[in-house]
Amino acid sequence: MSFYSVELPYRTDAAHYYAMLADLPWAAWLDSGGMARFDILTAAPQRTLVLNDNASHGDPFAMLRSELGERVAPVENIPFAGGALGYWAYDLTRRICLPSGASQDGEPDPGTATVRVPDMAIGFYDWALVLDHQLKTTRLVSHRRYAETNALLPQLLQRLQGNPSLPEGTFRVQGKITSNFTAESYAAAFARVQGYLRSGDCYQVNLAQRFSASATGDALAAYLALRKMSPAPYSAFLNLPQVRILCASPERFLRVRNGSVETRPIKGTRPRGGDAQQDHWLAEELRNHPKDRAENLMIVDLLRNDLGKCCVPGSVRVPELFGVESFSNVHHLVSTVQGKLAEGRDALHALRDCFPGGSVTGAPKIRAMQIIAQLEPDRRGIYCGAIGYAGFDGNMDSNIVIRTIVHSGNQVHCWAGGGIVADSNVAAEYRETLDKASAMLGLLQHYGGEL
């Protein structure tokens, strides 16, 4: 069947259109935050694939590939018109990377899953609303893969031409915002990481703390506030039956376009300055600091190795090293790694081979993840996984789930971490987690939380 495309009025802010879809099941918004080219909105998937941590299944990426079926031709200037879209939790690694039950050195893996969310929640959508901020267009598009889509498209078109009202501020955070680390227990975990580094077990470990509070109400209102406080190019809002995900991620994980794959790891952070002069000094200090450059280079090497599993030998390259990107609360040190997928390998092979992103584990990856499982008091759940899509056309884009609030049941959780190396300073690393969490904690305070 021919490709479906209908143009709608262009808007600089996709919130207007998302409000018209928000009451549909599995409504999803991949949000450019005003910093990237595309916003992608969709809802009402024809199929869903949800993997819970207590269920035994086969390879989740093979299951996705089977459901996506035969590839269709990509359409110019349309990143996604249907396919798999949702999240892959960090805890999915327990199926594909880590042995269960014990760490490498025999210590028990606490495995505390206090945030009960699926390891993977993917919808198979057959349409999308794509806002292109470069061409200034809005298009309702579909590959019309499923028979029932033909009846759905006119209904969507009518809905998208309405006048929505954005949600009222019903979101509330009650009581204290607590962390699963105190400053003292963080220092004790930091010391154990240093011991592993000195013994040669690993070169870098990403240690994170989690903040939690009680919350009720409409998480969309909170997301709209978060994206104003902390705009980011790989943001997302997923309203799923099991969980609401409010993501303001600055970091791309993997993008695949016509067989070319790219990842853009972040490693290295400074807070924004109080004035233009101090802000510039902090950015340049980050750009030239030997420790931050060494940390970033470790992760670049890890990702080069990961991409080498699925790319043509010799095609993996680093076109950008140690670039500084500035966001509302922090400066980040960012590099770019690219490669060409090998014959017989696709976007889902790349996702599986590189998952989870090395910038949120450490190096070498498997050992760093075993240490994380020992030292962090709770499982990460969605944090440090990926949100994104794998289209019917074989293309893919995904983020790293950082700067993210997870609303499940009557609880909200958010996390912040940093890479620890041999010459790290415990006070500076602890402060970095607070700098990274500042917008999220500010949001929770705004809605009533006590810090």
Instruction: Identify the structural domains of the chain with CATH numbers, from first to last.
Output: 4-446 (3.60.120.10)
Whole-number pLDDT of residue 102: 38
Whole-number pLDDT of residue 56: 64
State pLDDT tens for residues 316-371.
999 999 999 988 888 999 999 999 999 999 999 999 999 999 989 999 999 999 99
User: Which residue in the block uniquely carries the two structure tokens 């983020």?
Assistant: 399
Residue (of 326, 255, 239) closest to 284 by Cα position: 326
Beta bridge partners of 122: 49, 86
The catalytically annotated residue of 7, 67, 176, 251 is: 251
Q: How far apart, in whole angstroms, are the C-alpha atoms of residue 36 and residue 29? A: 14
- Written in H, E and C, the secondary structure of the chain is CCCEEEEECCCCCCHHHHHHHCCCCCEEEEECCCCCCEEEEECCCCEEEEECCCCCCCCHHHHHHHHHCCCCCCECCECCCCEEEEEECHHHHHHHCCCCCECCCCCECCCCCCCCCCCEEEEEECCEEEEECCCCEEEEEECCCCCCHHHHHHHHHHHHCCCCCCCCCCCEEEEEEEECCCHHHHHHHHHHHHHHHHCCCCCEEEEEEEEEEEEECCHHHHHHHHHHHCCCCEEEEEECCCCEEEEEECCEEEEEECCEEEECCEEEEEECCCCHHHHHHHHHHHHHCHHHHHHHHHHHHHHHHHHHCCECCCCCEEEEEEEEEECCCEEEEEEEEEEEECCCCCHHHHHHHHCCCHHHCEECHHHHHHHHHHHCCCCCCCCCCEEEEEECCCCEEEECCCCEEEEECCEEEEEEEEEECCCCCHHHHHHHHHHHHHHHHHHHHHCCCEC
Measuring CA to CA, how many Å separate 104 from each of 191, 239, 374, 432? 19, 37, 10, 29
- Would the CA dihedral through 285, 290, 291, 297 be positive or negative? positive
Whole-number pLDDT of residue 170: 86
Give how far the C-alpha of residue 303 lies from the chain's centroid of Cα atoms, to the nearest Å.
17
Say if residues 341 and 350 touch (Cβ distance below 8 Å): yes
Whole-number pLDDT of residue 101: 40
Say if residues 343 and 53 touch (Cβ distance below 8 Å): no
Q: Which residues of the chain have pLDDT under 50?
A: 100-110
Say if residues 68 and 390 touch (Cβ distance below 8 Å): yes
Give how far the C-alpha of residue 399 lies from the chain's centroid of Cα atoms, to the nearest Å.
4
Known catalytic membership, residue 262: no
Beta bridge partners of 28: 42, 238
Known catalytic membership, residue 284: no
- pTM listed for this prediction: 0.94
The catalytically annotated residue of 76, 148, 267, 450 is: 267
Alpha-carbon Rg for the chain, nearest whole angstrom, is 21
- In this structure, are strands 128-132 and 404-408 parallel, antiparallel, or unpaired? unpaired
Say if residues 25 and 44 touch (Cβ distance below 8 Å): yes
Measuring CA to CA, how many Å separate 224 from each of 18, 158, 254, 382? 11, 24, 25, 20
Phi and psi based region of residue 195 (left: phi greater than 0; alpha: psi -120 to 50; beta: remaining): alpha
Tokens of 442: 């500010």
Q: How far apart, in whole angstroms, are the C-alpha atoms of residue 317 and residue 402? A: 25
